[in-house]
Every structure is written in C-alpha cells, then in structure tokens.
C-alpha cells in the first residue's frame, strides 16, 4: 500500500511542495486557462486562505525562464496532459513576483518602508542584471538605490515597469508580472493613510500593467476589487474574475470531488455530511460546494480532535464590531442575527469597493463580508442584488462570537448571567428567567433607543441575548406559524427538550385612564398569552415533533425599558 504523502500546511511555495513530495491538490489547469485567456492582465479577488499565493507561486515556477529545470515540477500534473501550445510556455519568460501580504502598518511611513523592503528583495533576485554593460550607468544607479532602500517614492512607483524593461532587454523575451495580496496595504490604511497608499499603489500597478510593451501576462490577487477609479484607472486591459464569476471559479478553494479524494487518501472516518456542514458552503460563480482549504486541511491533520473554527480574519471582525457598536446600527445587528439563525438576507453587492464609502454606506459592510468569505451567495435576485447566507457552521461560530463579544464588552453583559438566564427560559423556570432578564435589561438596555422601532427594538435585543444558546436551538423570528406570525421561537435540535414561543408587547400605560398600571400590564400579559394560543404560534414546534407539554409559552410586556412576564399580584 503506497504511503500517504505528507501535508505541508501553511506552505505557499509550489516548488517546495512538489520537490518534497508533499500532498498537493492539482490546480495546474489554472495555468492553461490563464494562457488561453485573451486578457493580458487578470485580477483574482478571493477570500484569504483560499490558495491565492500558492497558485501565483505555481505560475512563477511554470513560466520562469531563469529556472529551466522547473519543467520537471509539472510532468506529473494535469497541465502536462495538455497540448504543446500550452506546454511551450513553460520556462519561457522572465518573471516578476511581488507579494504585499506583510505590508501592514499603523502609519504610511512604516507601510511604505515595508513596501520598499519587498521591492528591494525583488530586485535582489535579479541582481545579475547589474553585470556587464546591459544597463546604462544611470539605470544601475537607480537599481542600486532600490536595492539599498534609498530610492524616492517615485522611483519605487516606477520599479515594476522599470524592472520589466530591464528583464526583457536581458532575456529578449516579454515578462510575466505577478502581484500577490495587492490590497493588503490598502485595507491596512483605509482609515489612517488611505490617500497615500492608494496613490502609491495606483501609480505602481498602472506603470506595471498599463500600456507596458514589455508585458506578456499579468496576474494579481487580493481579497477585494478596489474600484477602478481608486486604483485601476485607465487599465483597459484588466479583466476581473471575482467569486461572482464562473470563469476560474474552481481554481481557488477545494471542490467537492477534491474534498472526497482528500478524505479517501487520508482515511478520515468522520462522516462526510458532518465535514460538509462545518466547512463547505461557498458558491463561486456557477461552481457550488467550494471548501476553504485552510480549514479542511487543518481538520484532516487532526480529525481525532473534532471540528474547530480554524479560519478567522481579525480586521474584518473589527469592522463588524465597529458597525454593530453604532447606536443606529440596529438593522445591521438584526441582519447578523437572521444570518446566525439560517435566514438569508438580500443585499446589493457592488463589484467595485471604495474604502472611504464604508464609513457612510452600510451596504458596503455586506460587500466586505461577502468578498472576505464570511458570506456566500444563495441565489441571485437581480443585477447586483443577491440573497446571502453564512456558508457553514465554522463561519456561524465566528459571527456568534462577534455578537457575544458585543454583548459582553460593549453592552457589559456578564456571560454567566446571560447563560443562566437563557437556561432558565429553556427549562421553563419562568420566575427565575424573569428575574435574570430584568437584571440584564436594567444593566444594559439604556444602550438602545426604544422610542423608535418599538417592538422591533425589543425583539432585536432579545434575539441577541439568545445567541448564546444557538448551538442547541434553531432561533427564528417573525415567521408564520398557525394563524399568524410569532415574534421569537426556539426549536431544539434534541426533541426531548423544551421549545419556546415568545410574544412581545409594548405598553404605553398613559393610553388608558380607566385601568391602573398593574391592571394594564396584567391585561397585556394575558392578551399575549391568549394570542399565542388563539393563533397557534406553537404549530411549528408541533410540526417539529415536539410534545405539547414541552412547549413553553412566554409573553413579555415592556413598559418603557421594564419587562414583565408574570402576572403582578394586586396586593
């Protein structure tokens, strides 16, 4: 029996993986598709950890004229089964490969220093160009300035185009220019030094790719498609293949057949359906069932440890937190809670991303989450309108942590109080639930403006609190059941546990002068209870195989920011 090849997790160097005989999912037909494309320059926006750097590394070793022995890296791959028209490009071109993945800083000066360091390393790879008389003295002078990191910003902006000219002159062949993670410095500086970084990147990339007579092909990767007006202005030879496009859709991330092959090769005993629930769910163009490679490979390495959330993106989490912390962001929080509860949301997804607009345009948050891999398309509604969902359980955990962190840090809810109060509810200990709920409301509800949106605000708040029990329950809101629409329903995965129906009322005590405040509250509690029974809001729980004795009916009446659940004694 052949020995299973070793996984080299985290390695993005194609040559290292192949020469060390590491396990590799063959994506080499990406090369053929790129060569056969009519476009000179292609941008591939993909979420992080989806194999972007490894794919560009593969392109580098395939095309690189400086390493003709690299041909043997590909002889056992699918690309070598293609015709000679494709294979003749192997080892034919000088290659420029530049990555900005580490160009993250708190200010422009430090960011520029990191960028200039990467460009200096690039020039060192081609230091042989300084030998002989191929370059003029003034060109050698600029080359050395870049090597020594003493060049001006203008010279760095022109560095890729200049290097491509030198390389074509030396090799008598056009150049392949590969730029990885182009938007990392832009994302890093979007709220601190955006104008500086966007101007630098625009001038550098335009110089490299626009009307560059020394260019054969160019490939760029990143997470977002930053708008043409911001960075790709005038680059009419650029084609963008995002996660909304079908072309190249199976070249990043793992497809379902590839996942099944991995599971078979590594003899993983975990049920495929469970693996799929945790890590599947992306739809790129017309290709469905795309998996995040980072998560699935981490799981494959140690399946005995069970499922974990391996994939995170701190910067995007910060943006989510910033949005849901805003006092006028009830809609954002409501949409996140809907997503957590397996309900799709409908949003406009702009193809072009303008970072300064993020501060004022809430819809751009959803575009950021979508392109960053936190959401995926369920179906297309109209031209730029999509139904979005959370792709898998791993991502749902990340969203839940965001909500709980907001509740704990920004609204100052003690997690143990939240957990105990939720447990009282699902165990039908209504008096204890009411006591804990009143404490939570008293400590935190000033955060909300209850003068607007009325019952919607209360409902949004309670849904946020109930996120803590989301692993054991399906949490739904405003759904039809029986003869009306309930406010909140908790459906247990374990049918022996209690299900819960919550009906929320808002009471303005000054509207009725014939009854006391206590009488009005009791009347509203009774009406809410009767509404649950009369309209059979519990029908969905019955349909989910719950027994009637396991159904908890909870009326919650708010008088301002004070909740009432049990009838008030008149003594």
Tokens of 436: 């804990």
Q: Which H or E run includes 80?
A: none
pLDDT average, residue stretch 397-401:
81
CA geometry: angle at 92 spanning 90 and 94, to 5°? 120
How many degrees, rounded to 5, is the angle at CA 116 between CA 115 and CA 121? Answer: 100
Is 454's pLDDT higher than 60? no
**pLDDT band (50, 70, 90) for residue 515:** confident
- pLDDT tens for residues 231-240? 877 677 789 9
- Count other C-beta atoms under 10 Å from residue 268's C-beta: 15
Percent of the chain residues topping a pLDDT of 90: 57
Question: For residue 516, is pLDDT > 60?
Answer: yes
Closest CA to 299 of 325, 319, 279: 279
Asked if 282 and 292 count as a contact pair (C-beta separation under 8 A), the reply is: yes
Asked if 81 and 406 count as a contact pair (C-beta separation under 8 A), the reply is: no
pLDDT at 449 over 70: no
d(C-alpha 453, C-alpha 320), whole Å? 22
* CA–CA separation, 198 and 231 (whole Å): 6
The pLDDT, as a whole number, for residue 315 is 59
Rounded to 5°, the CA angle 245-189-396 comes to 50
The pair of structure tokens assigned to 507 is 């009471």
Average pLDDT over residues 95-116: 96
**Residue 377 forms beta bridges with which residues?**
388
Instruction: Provide the pLDDT for residue 417.
Output: 83
* Mean of the per-residue pLDDT values of the chain: 87
Rounded CA gap, 366 and 369, in Å? 5
How far apart CA 262 and CA 511 sit, in angstroms, is 66
pLDDT (tens digit per residue) in 276-327: 999 988 999 999 999 999 999 999 999 988 898 888 765 555 656 666 666 4
Query: Which pLDDT score is estimated for 568?
Result: 77
> Residue 280 belongs to what H/E stretch?
none
**Token pair belonging to 537:** 């809001």
pLDDT tens digit sequence for 48-86: 899 999 999 999 999 999 887 899 999 999 999 999 999
Residue 327: its pLDDT value, please? 45
At CA 359, angle to CA 357 and CA 361, rounded to 5? 60
- Quick one: tokens of 174? 């056009």
pLDDT at 17: 96
For residues 199-224, give the mean pLDDT: 94
- The CATH number given to 14-240 is 3.40.50
Model-level pTM?
Answer: 0.83
**Rounded to 10 degrees, what is the CA torsion of 431, 432, 437, 438?**
70
pLDDT of residue 445: 59
Query: Comparing 180-189, 197-206, 211-220, 324-333, which segment has the lowest mean pLDDT?
Result: 324-333
* Start-to-end CA span in the chain (Å): 82
Closest C-alpha to 188, from 102, 299, 256, 264: 102
* For the ranges 347-361, 390-404, 546-560, the one whose mean pLDDT is highest: 546-560
Q: Which two three-digit tokens encode residue 447?
A: 């955060």
More confident of the two residues 213 and 447: 213
Cβ–Cβ < 8 Å for 541, 551: yes
pLDDT of 176 reads: 98
Question: What tens digit of pLDDT does each residue of 249-272 get?
Answer: 999 999 999 999 999 999 999 889
Strands (E), 10-87: 41-45
Q: Which tens digit of pLDDT belongs to each residue from 10-41?
A: 899 999 999 999 999 999 999 999 999 999 99
User: Residue 399 above 70 pLDDT?
Assistant: yes
At 129 the pLDDT is 97
Contact criterion met (CB below 8 Å) for 406 and 418: no
Half-sphere exposure at residue 412, Cβ-oriented, CA atoms within 13 angstroms: 8
pLDDT at 219 over 70: yes
pLDDT higher at 1 or 390 = 390
Question: Tokens 């009347």, residue?
Answer: 523
* Model confidence pLDDT, tens digit, residues 378-388: 999 998 899 99
Q: What is the pLDDT of residue 326?
A: 60
Please indicate whether residue 211 or residue 399 has the higher confidence score (pLDDT): 211
Does the CA dihedral 515-518-520-525 come out positive or negative?
negative
SS3 at position 70:
helix
d(CA 389, CA 413): 28
DSSP class per residue in 119-168? HHHHHHHTGGGGSTTSS-HHHHHHHHHHHTT---HHHHHTHHHHHHHHHH
Percent of the chain with pLDDT over 70: 89
Position 334 pLDDT exceeds 60: yes
Query: Can you read off the two tokens belonging to residue 78?
Result: 């699918």
**Would you place residue 457 in the very low, low, confident or very high pLDDT band (cuts 50, 70, 90)?**
low
The band of 455, judged by pLDDT with boundaries at 50, 70 and 90, is: low
Query: Does pLDDT of 513 surpass 60?
Result: no
The domain locations on the chain are 14-240, 256-305, 314-395, 411-564
Q: What is the mean pLDDT of residues 500-521?
A: 78
| 462 vs 482: which has the higher pLDDT | 462
Question: 3-state DSSP call for residue 398?
Answer: helix
* Bridge-based pairing state of the strands 484-485 and 480-481: antiparallel
Q: What is the pLDDT of residue 547?
A: 92
């Amino acid at each position: 029996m052949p020995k299973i090849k070793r996984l080299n997790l985290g390695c993005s160097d194609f040559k290292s993986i192949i020469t060390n005989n590491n396990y590799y999912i063959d994506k080499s037909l990406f090369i053929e598709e790129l060569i056969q494309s009519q476009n000179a320059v292609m941008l591939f926006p993909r979420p992080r950890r989806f194999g972007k750097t490894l794919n560009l590394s593969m392109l580098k070793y395939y095309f690189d004229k400086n390493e003709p022995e690299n041909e043997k890296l590909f002889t056992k791959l699918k690309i070598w089964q293609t015709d000679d028209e494709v294979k003749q490009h192997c080892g034919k071109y000088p290659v420029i490969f530049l990555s900005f993945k580490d160009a993250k800083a708190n200010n422009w000066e430090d960011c520029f220093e990191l960028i200039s360091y990467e460009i200096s390393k690039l020039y060192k790879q081609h230091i042989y160009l300084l030998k002989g008389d191929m370059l003029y003295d003034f060109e050698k002078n600029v080359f050395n300035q870049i090597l020594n990191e003493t060049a001006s910003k203008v010279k760095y902006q022109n560095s890729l185009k200049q290097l491509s000219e030198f390389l074509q002159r030396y090799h008598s062949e056009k150049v392949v220019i590969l730029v990885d993670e182009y938007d990392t410095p832009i994302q890093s500086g979007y709220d601190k030094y955006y104008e500086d970084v966007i101007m630098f990147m625009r001038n550098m990339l335009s110089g490299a790719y626009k009307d560059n007579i020394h260019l054969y092909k160019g490939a760029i990767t990143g997470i977002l498609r930053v708008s043409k007006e911001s960075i790709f202005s005038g680059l009419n030879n650029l084609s963008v293949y995002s996660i909304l496009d079908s072309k190249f859709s199976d070249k990043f991330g793992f497809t379902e057949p590839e996942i099944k092959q991995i599971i078979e090769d590594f003899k993983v005993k975990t049920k495929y359906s469970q693996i799929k629930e945790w890590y599947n769910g992306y739809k790129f163009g017309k290709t469905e069932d795309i998996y995040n490679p980072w998560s699935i490979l981490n799981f494959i390495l140690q399946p005995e440890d069970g499922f974990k959330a391996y994939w995170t993106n701190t910067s995007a989490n910060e943006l989510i937190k910033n949005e849901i912390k805003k006092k006028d962001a009830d809609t954002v929080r409501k949409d996140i809670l809907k997503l957590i509860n397996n309900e799709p949301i409908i949003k406009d997804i702009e193809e072009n991303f303008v970072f300064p607009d993020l501060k004022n345009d809430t819809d751009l948050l959803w575009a950021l989450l979508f392109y960053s891999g936190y959401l995926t398309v369920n179906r297309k509604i109209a031209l730029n309108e999509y139904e979005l969902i959370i792709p898998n359980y791993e991502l749902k955990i990340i969203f839940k942590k965001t909500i709980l962190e907001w509740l704990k840090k920004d609204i100052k809810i003690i997690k143990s109080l939240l957990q105990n109060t939720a447990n009282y509810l699902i165990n039908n200990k209504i008096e204890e639930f009411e006591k804990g709920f009143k404490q939570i409301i008293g400590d935190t509800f000033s955060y909300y403006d209850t003068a607007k949106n009325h019952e919607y605000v209360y409902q949004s708040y309670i849904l946020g609190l109930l996120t803590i029990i989301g692993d054991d329950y399906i949490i739904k809101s405003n759904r039809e059941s029986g003869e009306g629409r309930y406010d909140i329903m908790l459906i247990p995965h374990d049918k022996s546990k209690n299900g819960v129906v919550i009906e929320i009322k808002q009471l303005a005590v000054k509207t009725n002068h014939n009854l006391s405040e206590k009488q009005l509250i009791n009347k509203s509690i009774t009406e809410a209870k009767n509404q649950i029974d009369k309209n059979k809001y519990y029908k969905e729980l019955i349909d989910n195989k719950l027994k009637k004795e396991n159904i908890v009916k909870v009326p919650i009446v708010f008088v301002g920011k004070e909740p009432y659940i049990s009838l008030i004694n008149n003594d």
